[in-house]
Amino acid sequence: MAEPKIKPAKREAGKSKFRLPDRAPRPVEENPLRELLKEAKAQEEAGLEPKSSPRDTPVKKIAGVQAAQKKVVISTPALEIAGVPLAGTSQAVGEAPPITFAEFSRRWSPILRSGQMGVCRALFEMTYEAGLTECFTSMPRLAEAAGLKERQCYNVVGQLELLGFIERPEIFNTPTQKGTIFRLNIEPRPPSDRAERRYHIGGEGKS
C-alpha cells in the first residue's frame, strides 16, 4: 500500500525557505597600537609636547642675522655675528617661542612643499627661536640657510608671501644697508592684515 504524501508546509510571505544558523558573537580583541594612538592624540590635543629652547644652529650662522630690539632678547651666536648691516627694529616675543617648528611643520606640511618648508624653517630659527618676531638678512644668505639656490629662493619667498606665511615689511638697498626684514607668520595672514611694504633706496624710504 502506497504511503500517503506529506504536504509541504505553507510558505509565509517575506520569510526565507532556508535559514542560516545564528553566528556566535565576535570577541573584542585588544589592540595595543590603537591604545597608543589614542594616547598620543590626547597628548597632542592637550599640548603636552615640550617646547624646544633656543639653540645654536647652522642656519643662524649662515644667515648672519642681527637685530636691533627694544627688549632684551635671548642671546645667541647668530645675533652677535653681524653678517648683514643692522636695519629696522625687531620686536622681542619673550623667552620661549609660541610654537615649536615641529608643530608648525606637522600642521602645514600637507600644503607646503619641501623648499617652502625649508625657508620657513630657516626663518623660524632666525626669529622665534632667537626670541624675535622678525629678522634682517639678505636673500642670498636666506637661500644658503634654506639649502636653495638664490633664484629658487626668490620664487619660494614670493609663493609664501602669496600664501600669507611671510611678510617683507621693509627692503633696503642703500649704500650702507642691503637686505630685507623678514617676518614669519605662524598663522597665514590675509592681505588686509599684512604690513605695508616700504622700500629704502638711496637713503630714502618709499612705500
What sections of 127-205 are H helices per DSSP?
139-146, 150-163
Q: Which CATH number fits domain 58-206: 3.40.50.1820, 1.10.10.10, 1.10.3470.10, 3.20.20.80?
A: 1.10.10.10
Which three three-digit cell numbers place residue 131?
Answer: 626670541
Neighbours of 49 (CB within 10 A): 13
- Domain boundaries defined on the chain: 58-206
Reported as a pLDDT band with limits 50, 70 and 90, residue 143 is: very high
Say which range, 52-56, 87-91, 139-143, 173-177, has the weakest mean pLDDT. Answer: 87-91
The answer, as to whether pTM is greater than 0.75, is no
- pLDDT tens-digit readout, 57-105: 666 565 555 544 444 444 444 444 334 444 444 445 455 678 899 999 9
Which three three-digit cell numbers place residue 6?
Answer: 506529506
Handedness of CA 125, 114, 161, 97 (dihedral sign): negative
Beta carbons of 126 and 78 less than 8 angstroms apart: yes
Amino acid at 166: I
Torsion of CA 131, 135, 140, 144, to 10 degrees: 10
- pLDDT tens-digit readout, 185-194: 999 999 888 8
What pLDDT, on the 0 to 100 scale, is given for residue 68? 40
